[in-house]
A and B are shown apart, each in its own frame.
Chain A
Amino acid sequence: MKKYIILTLLSMLLAGTGPAYGGEIAIIVNKDNAIEDISFRELAMIFKMEKKFWGDGSPIYLVTRGSRSPEKEVVLKTVYKMDEQELKKFYLAKIYQGVAPSFPKVIASNQSMKAFVQQVPNAVGYIDAAYADDNVKVLKIEGKLPGENGYKLAEGG
């Protein structure tokens, strides 16, 4: 029994070494990207591959998270308004229609997502807002950043 107590304590300690999941999602782009603010509708168009270019004409490189991450769950609920299975069909239809060349790249963790967006100039992705730092630019959605009242990309949002 004591073994399990200690194991639980250890798990809690280890879990505490990274920011705890905060329930809000930050949309991140490369720091060199000129964009600062985006409407929720534009964001949905980017995520649904209906808008595929930034304002300067460079292609948008959409990166996403794996199907069971809490961050993906929030994005599915608030932006896509569909479940994971429907999203897979949605993307396959886009590819089949010739609208999109491939599925978005899947990134395994918040840290990896941040690193990817930091390095790839035209990338856009999303992370748990608690992981956001100066290495990437957090986009305002409808003029609001994560943590501000009325921010739309939140659990239960």
Chain B
Amino acid sequence: MDKSRAFVIVVFLLFLGSPRLGYTDDSQRIRELEKKVEELTRTVNELMARQETAAPRGPAVTEEINEEAETVAPKLTLRGFGHVQYDYSRSDFSDDTSGDTNHFTVGGVDLFITSKISEKISFLNETTFELEADGVNKLDVERVLLKYSANDKFNVSIGRGHTAVGYWNQTFHHGKWLQTTTDRPAIYRWEDEGGILPVHYVGLEFSGTLDMPGGTLSYVSNLANGRGKIADEVKLVEDNNDSKMAGGMLTYKPAAIEGLGFGVNYLHDTIPARAGTTDRGAEIDENLSGAHIFYLKDPFEVILEGQIINHFNHATGMRDETVGSYGQLAYKMGKYKPYVRFDWLNISDRDPFFEGLVEDETSHTLGIRYEITTFNALKLEYRHSDKDNSKSNEATIQSSFAF
């Protein structure tokens, strides 16, 4: 039908543009034109009627239908995320010295591949190319998952992914463009950036959504290789002990309040002993529990989360507790989204597993996000942080994008 219309319009425009041949006056010309219009309209209607009686599909639609019906090779889709930023930091250290730094940072490239292998099987891969401070390029396969979706209630994935530990870890991954702030909360730092939680797993993930009275209950659970001997060791191809890490997270979303969700998570692992140490000569039992609540409905963004890590050290017979939480609030005003966040982290100072990490940290963040385009955001952020009594005032300008 569109082609018929286009044809009529083209013919008519050509007709209008042609020299006036043989017309004695305008009224005669108009009568001729009207006659032509009537003829063309009849033709269009006839064509449309024919299309309606036959299967109403044009070549493009037929192609789309064929594409859907045929079993063709899986189609790989490549997307990416990236960011560049400028940081300024002024610090007063706990040893009464002070200093300031400023630098530009290329945040690397986060390539994201998806492919639908069959109706129920899909593949996902997230690989980051990072630039390290020493100038070395680093490639990290962050997520690689083969997922089988049986139905809405049950999906199973195998590979490497993000653990069912908290809302942030399940929602925001390595690309910074999706998150409102320039960086992750302190409790969800990556393992290789001083993080305290096992945010990656290698193993199985089970997930699904169940209809419940008054809302939906979604679950995610993991059965995976446990932690390594230190916090920054994700066991990719082997496990140090026979015990596997097992955990799960539940989130309930009431239908009555759109945008609201709340839930809990729990994880158990046995951390292997570390040879050559006195206080790590035996395994550590790790029990991690947390809670989250969020309200995400424009213009509001409210996220509150807390995690408690309980370690029982079989070498010392002592129990240590590490606690962390954050609260984030944002309010969208057109292309602008001002936000605040409060981070708090208290690591048990005698827990040998977290040896070398900042033990007490509080951070206040104030920022504004501006949507330059649909897939490019500019974030201006100020942070005041206190890490083991070293105080810093930091500012970041970050441009993050999806491509």
Residues of A within 8 A of B (CB): 2-3, 6-7, 9-10, 13-14, 17-18, 41, 45, 50-53, 57-59, 61, 81-82, 85-86, 88-89, 92-93, 95-98, 101-102, 105, 107-109, 111-112, 114-116, 118-120, 123, 135
Contacts and interface: CB of A to CB of B under 8 A. Distances in A.
A14 B57 contact: no
Interface in B132-179: 143, 145, 147, 149-152, 157, 161, 170-171, 173, 175, 178
Contacts, number: 126
A59 B119 CA distance: 7
Contacts of A111: 1, 51, 56, 58
Given A92-B402, A120-B68, 11 more contacts: A10-B8, A13-B41, A17-B1, A59-B119, A61-B68, A85-B374, A101-B115, A105-B64, A112-B57, A115-B55, A119-B55
A112 B56 CA distance: 8
A80 B152 CA distance: 20
Contact of B58 (A88, A101, A112): A112
A120 B67 CA distance: 11
29 contacts: A9-B37, A13-B41, A14-B9, A17-B41, A18-B48, A41-B255, A51-B209, A52-B149, A53-B149, A82-B298, A88-B375, A93-B178, A95-B79, A95-B114, A96-B173, A97-B170, A98-B143, A98-B147, A98-B161, A101-B114, A101-B115, A107-B64, A111-B1, A112-B58, A112-B64, A115-B57, A115-B61, A118-B56, A123-B68
A51 B209 CA distance: 8
B330 to A, nearest CB: 14
Nearest to A113: B61
B257 to A, nearest CB: 12
A89 B58 CA distance: 31
A107 B37 CA distance: 30
A13 B209 contact: no
A58 to B, nearest CB: 8
Nearest to A93: B178
